[in-house]
Structure 1
Amino acid sequence: MVKTKIQQIRITSTWREVNFSSDKLANRGARLLEGNMESYVGRPQFLYKIEEPMKEYFRFC
Structure 2
Amino acid sequence: MQQIRITSAWREVNFSSDQLANCGVRLFEGNMESYVGRPQFLYKIEEPMKEYFRFY
Q: Deviation digits for residues 20-49 of structure 1, max 9, x if unmatched?
A: 000000000001111211110111111110
- What secondary structure does 1:21 align onto? helix
The letter of the residue matching 1:50 is: I
CA distance in 1, matches of 2:47, 2:33: 25
Listed as ranges, the gaps of 5+ residues in structure 2 are: none
> How well do the aligned residues superpose, as a CA RMSD in angstroms?
0.8
Structure with larger Rg: 1
Alignment TM-score, normalising by the size of structure 2: 0.92
- How many residue pairs get aligned? The number is 56
Q: Distance in 2 between matches of 1:10 and 1:37?
A: 34
Q: Give the one of 15, 20, 24 matched to 1:25.
A: 20
Percent identity among equivalent residues?
Answer: 88
Counterpart residue type for residue 40 of structure 2? Q
Q: Is there any run of 5+ residues in structure 1 with no aligned partner, and where?
A: 1-5
2:45 is matched with 50
Runs of 4+ off more than 2 Å: none
